[in-house]
Amino acid sequence: MPGVMNRRLDVDALRAMVAIDQHGGVTRAAEILGLSQSAVSHKIRRLEASLDCEILSRKANAPMFTTAGQDLLGYARRILGIHDEAVLSLSKSTLQGKIALGMTEDTTCTDLARILGRFRRLYPEVSVRTKVRMSLVLQEQLSLGALDAAIVQVFQHEVRPADVLLYRETLHWVKSPELILRKGEPVPFLSFDDDCFYRRWGLDLGQDAGAVFETVFECSSAAGIIAGVTSGLGVALLSQRHLQPGMEIVDKDFPKPPDLAYVIRRARNSRNPALETLVREIEAEVRRYGTLQIAV
């Protein structure tokens, strides 16, 4: 058994651990990291040998990580955050400027806040002013020049060539299993406000199958819509990240919603070196993990 002082936590192995957890297995983690599956497995085995404990569970129908592995995951995320910030700080420049950035509620609930905090520490001479609005509002503010860039949701077919595609997600019709939909009766619809493009699609193109929607609940917050669905108030359109175990997906009963894309969209003719640096930081984070992770 190795002595405590001889044990080492390899940063690449920790990154492999986190990728396995986030992407559901070694195969997908290897794709995201740009490595072979055997290389990822080798990193984990070396880490297990160094720590003299099992990290990945190799038993059928068992959780992916052992208890020790779950404990190490928490440390791994913190270590990687500090490690990556330290590496970035060595290349810190005298970058200056101002950024007016828009975000949706969905992205404020991810670890984007952590990325912005790190960016501020690395580039203290750059001022970032953030507005949280619905995607359609942010797009209008971009067109008016009130924002330099915005992280917005759009339907996948609406992604523009100049957009920075971060990741894709699916959109679903959902309801509580306790809610019974009866033929010939209006469908109770839980809606975001007028500025939500889910709502506009759902009430316009989404009714091509002949269903009549009756808006019974309006809320600009995803948390409010989730609560309404789980309480059985009606049917809603929710993105994949907001699905809850108690929800029933009812896509077969309504027209299939288009897939979603999260993009960084810049204002036209934007020439902002500080913004481009921030965009690269966000892109690098998404390439590393495949998405912006839900903040916990």
Mean of pLDDT over the chain = 86
Residue 296 scores a pLDDT above 50: no
Specify whether the CB–CB gap between 165 and 159 falls below 8 A: yes
Residue 5 scores a pLDDT above 70: no
pLDDT at 260: 94
List strand residue ranges (DSSP E) for 28-110, in order: 97-103
What is the per-residue pLDDT across 159-212, written as a single tens digit (0 to 9) for each?
A: 999 999 988 899 999 999 999 999 889 999 999 988 889 988 988 765 666 678
pLDDT at 207: 60
Phi-psi group of 52: left, alpha or beta (phi > 0 → left; psi -120 to 50 → alpha; rest → beta) = left
Q: Rounded to a whole number, what is the distance in angstroms from the first to the last CA of the chain?
A: 35
Least confident of 132-146, 207-221, 271-285: 207-221
Q: What percent of the chain has pLDDT over 90?
A: 46
> What domains lie within the chain, and their CATH numbers?
4-89 (1.10.10.10), 94-158+261-289 (3.40.190.10), 171-258 (3.40.190.10)
d(CA 168, CA 205): 21
Pick from 276, 202, 203, 284: nearest CA to 239: 202
The stretch 116-139 carries a mean pLDDT of: 90
Residue 17 scores a pLDDT above 60: yes
pLDDT at 228: 96
